[in-house]
Structure 1
Amino acid sequence: MTQPMVKKMSEEQQHLVMQSMDMMDRFYDEEFGLLRSSGEESSAHGTRGSAHYALGLLIRQKSGDVERAVRVLHKVLDYQYDAPEEIYHGTFATQSTDEHPPAGHYAWKSFAPGTAYFLERTFEKVSEAFIHKLQEENNLLKEEADVKQLRQLFYASVHGVLPPVWISYDPNWREFIACVCAIASAAFSELLPDALIQRMDEAMERAVQGSVDRRLSDAIPMNTNIELMHIFITHYYGHRLKRADWMQHADEQAEGLLHEFEQYGGTFAEFNTTTYYGVDLAVLGMFRRYAFTERMTEIAHRLEHGLWNNIALYYNAKLENLSGPFARAYDMEMREHSSIGVFLYLLLGKGYEHLTGMNCESGHDPMIALLGIDVPAEAVPYFQAHQGDRLVQKQFLELCERDDPKANRNLCTASAWIGENRMMGAMSGSRNTNGQMHPATIHWQTETGERYYLRLIRRETGGDWNSHLRGITFEAEVTPDSLNIDVQLDTAEEIEVYFEIKGPSIRHQDIQPERWELPGLTCTVKAEAPEPTMLMYTDYAEIIYRYVPGKSENRMRFELGISD
């Protein structure tokens, strides 16, 4: 009997596998055959997380693990959508409780690129025109609550007929689950029954074809992490299933991505992003281990080393974090919603276990342990110790996934000042509607080791920052002791532009309109903006500047002078 994969791994790799599997074991529902989505009593079960769990079981191979993995993979495949004419063909329900997306009303293959964008914009305009007519002609909808309720009813009706991306289905589940199936078939085929191997191959034929159709139509653009997965699964299954058209497609896509990456000195459209860089590194590891051709291996090698050099450039070893600005980010802390700390632990080894704390990405850890790392020698010192204060600047060509495909690529500049105990980031050129774009950031640490961050974000009043909002742009610039930001607001919505400051012992009385006396940092503020209001929470504060259309100037400017 062959030795389990985990027994062949380094101490660091084994730590990642066992820690992650202990967590996922607690969420496994023996009766249902999948992981509960959240909490041990959840009624919903997730497909992507369960697929990663199955891969972890194949790596660990404790008694009963292989049999459980087989069951889980069969169960995940049960949730694939088999609908060849629909835009969601070959993807998977994200949760066991998802309703099947509407079918039969969306001839998406015959539409132009950017279909999802144009439909969304059209429905927005129809909704606003409909509400306006009710208000003006029938003297109805006097209350804002009535307007919001009617808008919700309108969109609910639309979404019951046409499948709204990200609402009724997630197209990216094709790529995520296909990557797991590829690794399972490449590394563990001798452990899996022939019936499961055959079923996975049949399911992957649907998934890859759906992914290729999506890419060729450009109906829903692919961000970098999805683009990399798309190329990998098309390459892998093209060779595995002897599909010459997929092989050619993957080769062309890889060459195009490499050209764009190197055009601006080695940058992805999804630039400086802790969450998605973790996915990128994992997929490049898949190429390193399982690519079929020398050229594909070479391309992945150049991308992987270039990506590590970018991470090193914006990394602060003292703060153990990446500096902003972030093209896309959920959190300002690298160890939240990210696997970057896991990769760094594999590089740095014993003593850095704290970088591997559990977060929502930890289900990927067994896969990362299996794939390993390939860090270029010149990048390694940046992760071991601070390599001197520096002002860094990189350009990248962003992707605005919800904009007109003829105008959804913009040349951006991500600038950062990285000192030993403080780093700041500033973004210029971006026109992204995504709230995950963080245009102005500060991270710092006090003499006693307490860590803080500041970020500028926006939200519709009463809404959430992690949303798509049109007509709001930021232009920021940074020096070692200043951070200046211009905000343009060309929108009919009421918007809150606000600084979020997070860390211990922040006091209301220390934050005044023109001076913020924060632990370890003093910030003088010149603001051309409405008078701010402030909200205090347990460990963070919000300094809010509210834009009201017709009453406020549609431009704000902030000049922050920074001293330690």
Structure 2
Amino acid sequence: MSKIVGPTVASWRTSRAPWSAAEYDRTLLRAALSEGDRCWDPEANLLRVEAPYNPIHTHIKGGLAHPTRNSLQYALLLLERGGAGDAERAHDVILRIAELQDRSVESATYGIWGYYAVETAAEMDPADWNWADFLGIQLLLVHARHGDHLPPAVLREIRESVRHAAASIVRRNVPMSYTNVAVMGTFVTLAAGGLLDDGKLFAYGKDRMVRLCEAIDSTGSFTEFNSPSYWGVVLQTLTLIREHVRDEEVLVLNDRLHDRLWLHFLARWHPPTRQLSGPMARCYSNDLGVPPFLVKAVRGVLGTPDVHPVRGELSVGVDSCVDYRVPDWALPRLLEPDGEREHRELFAQNPSPETGTTWLDAVTTLGSVNHQDTWLQRRPLFGHWVRPDGTAGHLHVHLLKDDGAEDFDFASGVISTVQSGPHVAWLTGFACPAGDRHHHLDVIRPGDRFRARSLRLVVDLIGAPPVPETSAVDGAVDLDLGTARLAFRLAGGSFGGRGPTVRLVPRADGMRIEVVLFESASPAELDWATLGDTFAAGSLSLVPSATGRAREQVPNPEVDSVGNCAEVRWTTPQGRRLTLSGGRSAVSREEHATLYSATLDGAAPPSPRLSESRLVP
């Protein structure tokens, strides 16, 4: 849980401590280089780190390994520090990274790198083509900031690596709905076109910028919506375009896109907890805090949390090389709550609308997306509350599978919602074909059997005061969170002919509500075709304790089977009538999307665009 530190709104208005961007940059640089120096392996001319567990792409699941991206970041930061021997070490890293790039035009992994020196891109399963974008950015930063002082051999290898990485990006030509990679590749091809004096490559980057803006214009928002890490990636890349690309037409579009990005962020920014609320398309951590790029952008007015890089992760040091800037109109909204408000937004047409709703008040915030899979990076129902001690508590709804060896987020789930204020009706089911750990890389197909000891929809309340483990009475859980109250109701459901049950489980970091869909003493082989109905449905509310809402009776939702759908009906404590329908058996994601429907007081909830102004006139 993150401590809410830094100036209050009132103190910021009257007297703000002097902010030194240069000193903060030095802090970031020192922190990153301390970790980089600790991990340096002079025999390999690369960093050596404990590889984090990664269920996809790489076969390296742990142990010491030599990462390519982190090592290249270290080279950049060594040049930034400029101490005795730093330049020589940086040159060695750059030359080693150049050796590790696949430069064979005939290769399927042309232009990219493996995650680690010991494993080539071709040996990965599958390779991560985003490494052309991520490493391309680092190489371009090295050249932009230190190219005038690099030896000819190093300059030559940088140019060659950039040329091959950019060619890989052009060959791949990702759809503009892949937001973060679409933006990164746009910068790489624009900057590489300028560096290499390649007019065709620069024209591709410029056209890509137009296509990106047109894709965002189609809904007014971002397909990879409200993703904290990728919001930071996009912010960084748009800032780099502003700093390092010299084309007036590109810069006009870039400025408009930069404003749209901040508008998107502020719609779900919750000043009382200083957290970004849900829903989220991609997320790695429930406690988001105030990352360095946001500290820099707002010139320290949100405080300056301590920076502690781990495992040779040096991205915070790279942030010292980027001149982030918040638009003047956005700064007050970061600090001052707007009172109670509800934000609705259309994210994408896939082809059915993908929409989100977020409720924000002085204590709590809760957000949901109408329809989303349950891959571990999703946050389909997510929020926070201010705890009595001033820290932020976190609410995270996800689907867990125990395969007999460990629990992990099961990507084959589907969560559908409809929301009014701080109240959400939810329905969870399963898709087939769909992924196991990843949403499309390890697919369970019709007829496949898969192994499971349990399947549980869980509501993690991180920071909740502990209560004894107990079974919920008639599927109902009411928790006093100190400053807020949570009301959870299970309306019903079925999994292979058995109804789900609810239990409350204390955890070291808070409390967990578990909706147990399937559980066995030992792992079982399951087949979607023989299970029949596989769904559960209910409601969830998160409200401040000090308001009248906390004392209102929470009605129980109802669920029925209607044809091949399950239908949830619920009247919120405020009298709003929510109806939600979705698939009740394991069908394809596409069919789940067509079966989804929702009404609020008998009509479809509105899904307004984030902005009616177009990026491309």
Structure 2 length as normaliser, TM-score? 0.71
Residues 12 and 350 in structure 1, CA contact (< 8 A), matched pair in contact too: no
The answer to whether 1:186 aligns with 2:198 is no
- Give deviations 1:353-381, integer Å, cap 9, x for gaps: 21645467961223222221121112101
Residues 397 and 457 in structure 2, CA contact (< 8 A), matched pair in contact too: yes
Q: 2:87 aligns with which of 66, 69, 91?
A: 66
SS in 2 for 1:354: coil
1:225-244 aligned at under 5 Å gives the runs 225-244=180-199
Structure with more of its chain in helix, by fraction: 1
Residues 89 and 206 in structure 1, CA contact (< 8 A), matched pair in contact too: yes
Aligned position for 1:352: 303
SS in 1 for 2:47: strand
Q: 1:383 aligns with which of 314, 318, 334?
A: 334
Distance 1:370 1:97, change over 3 A: same
How far apart, in 2, do the equivalents of 1:467 and 1:50 lie?
32
How far apart, in 2, do the equivalents of 1:39 and 1:231 lie?
30
How far apart, in 2, do the equivalents of 1:434 and 1:67 lie?
43
Aligned position for 2:247: 293
How far apart, in 1, do the equivalents of 2:517 and 2:387 lie?
34
Distance 1:211 1:186, change over 3 A: same
Letter in 1 for 2:420: T
Letter in 2 for 1:229: M
The answer to whether 1:501 aligns with 2:461 is yes
Aligned position for 1:49: 70
Aligned position for 1:334: 288
Aligned position for 1:149: none
SS in 1 for 2:157: helix
SS in 2 for 1:371: coil
Q: Could you tell me how far 1:27 is from its partner in structure 2? A: 1.7
The answer to whether 1:224 aligns with 2:236 is no
Aligned position for 2:533: 553
Q: Could you tell me how far 1:436 is from its partner in structure 2? A: 1.6
Aligned position for 1:415: 357
Distance 1:327 1:95, change over 3 A: same
Q: 1:516 aligns with which of 458, 462, 478?
A: 478
How far apart, in 1, do the equivalents of 2:278 and 2:345 lie?
12
How far apart, in 2, do the equivalents of 1:531 and 1:314 lie?
33
SS in 2 for 1:388: coil
How far apart, in 2, do the equivalents of 1:59 and 1:410 lie?
48
How far apart, in 2, do the equivalents of 1:236 and 1:467 lie?
39
1:467-478 aligned at under 5 Å gives the runs 468-469=411-412, 472-478=413-419
Residues 35 and 50 in structure 1, CA contact (< 8 A), matched pair in contact too: yes
SS in 2 for 1:93: coil
Distance 1:300 1:518, change over 3 A: same
Aligned position for 2:274: 320
- Give deviations 1:481-501, integer Å, cap 9, x for gaps: 312212232447564322222
Letter in 2 for 1:83: S
Aligned position for 2:427: 486
Distance 1:314 1:273, change over 3 A: same
Letter in 1 for 2:339: G
Residues 501 and 515 in structure 2, CA contact (< 8 A), matched pair in contact too: yes
How far apart, in 2, do the equivalents of 1:360 and 1:39 lie?
7
SS in 1 for 2:173: helix
Residues 345 and 355 in structure 1, CA contact (< 8 A), matched pair in contact too: no
How far apart, in 2, do the equivalents of 1:546 and 1:86 lie?
47
Aligned position for 1:88: 109
How far apart, in 2, do the equivalents of 1:272 and 1:83 lie?
37
Letter in 1 for 2:22: S
Taking CA–CA contacts closer than 8 Å with sequence separation of 6 or more, which of the two structures ends up with the larger relative contact order?
2
Aligned position for 2:602: none
How far apart, in 1, do the equivalents of 2:486 and 2:532 lie?
25
Distance 1:557 1:99, change over 3 A: same
Residues 489 and 538 in structure 2, CA contact (< 8 A), matched pair in contact too: yes
Aligned position for 2:607: none
Aligned position for 1:27: 39
Letter in 1 for 2:457: V
Distance 1:507 1:345, change over 3 A: farther
How far apart, in 2, do the equivalents of 1:421 and 1:348 lie?
25
Residues 325 and 416 in structure 1, CA contact (< 8 A), matched pair in contact too: yes
How far apart, in 2, do the equivalents of 1:557 and 1:539 lie?
26
How far apart, in 1, do the equivalents of 2:407 and 2:347 lie?
27
- Give deviations 1:147-167, integer Å, cap 9, x for gaps: xxxxxxxxxxxxxxxx642xx
Say how many residue pairs are matched: 475
Q: Could you tell me how far 1:552 is from its partner in structure 2? A: 6.9
1:88-487 aligned at under 5 Å gives the runs 88-99=109-120, 101=122, 164-165=125-126, 169-215=127-173, 223-265=178-220, 267-335=221-289, 340-349=291-300, 352-354=303-305, 356=307, 358=309, 363-397=314-348, 411-430=353-372, 432=373, 434-462=375-403, 465-466=408-409, 468-469=411-412, 472-487=413-428
Structure with more of its chain in strand, by fraction: 2
Q: Could you tell me how far 1:230 is from its partner in structure 2? A: 0.7
The alignment's C-alpha RMSD in Å is: 2.8
Residues 55 and 366 in structure 1, CA contact (< 8 A), matched pair in contact too: no
- Give deviations 1:386-430, integer Å, cap 9, x for gaps: 2322111221127xxxxxxxxx66531111111122100010144
How far apart, in 1, do the equivalents of 2:185 and 2:464 lie?
42
How far apart, in 1, do the equivalents of 2:325 and 2:248 lie?
17
Q: Could you tell me how far 1:351 is from its partner in structure 2? A: 7.2
Q: Could you tell me how far 1:292 is from its partner in structure 2? A: 2.6
Residues 36 and 74 in structure 2, CA contact (< 8 A), matched pair in contact too: yes
**Contiguous gaps of at least 5 residues in structure 1:** 1-7, 103-162, 399-407
- Give deviations 1:469-525, integer Å, cap 9, x for gaps: 3xx322223333312212232447564322222125322347734123242233222
How far apart, in 1, do the equivalents of 2:355 and 2:269 lie?
17
Residues 411 and 429 in structure 1, CA contact (< 8 A), matched pair in contact too: no
Distance 1:361 1:279, change over 3 A: farther
- Give deviations 1:282-337, integer Å, cap 9, x for gaps: 111110110131111222211112111221221112211100111111212113xx
| 360-369 vs 16-25, greater mean Cα deviation | 360-369
Q: Could you tell me how far 1:20 is from its partner in structure 2? A: 2.1
How far apart, in 1, do the equivalents of 2:45 and 2:39 lie?
11
Residues 34 and 50 in structure 1, CA contact (< 8 A), matched pair in contact too: yes
Structure 1 length as normaliser, TM-score? 0.77
Q: Could you tell me how far 1:243 is from its partner in structure 2? A: 2.4
Residues 81 and 90 in structure 1, CA contact (< 8 A), matched pair in contact too: yes
Aligned position for 2:513: 543
How far apart, in 1, do the equivalents of 2:51 and 2:168 lie?
32
Q: Percent identity?
A: 21
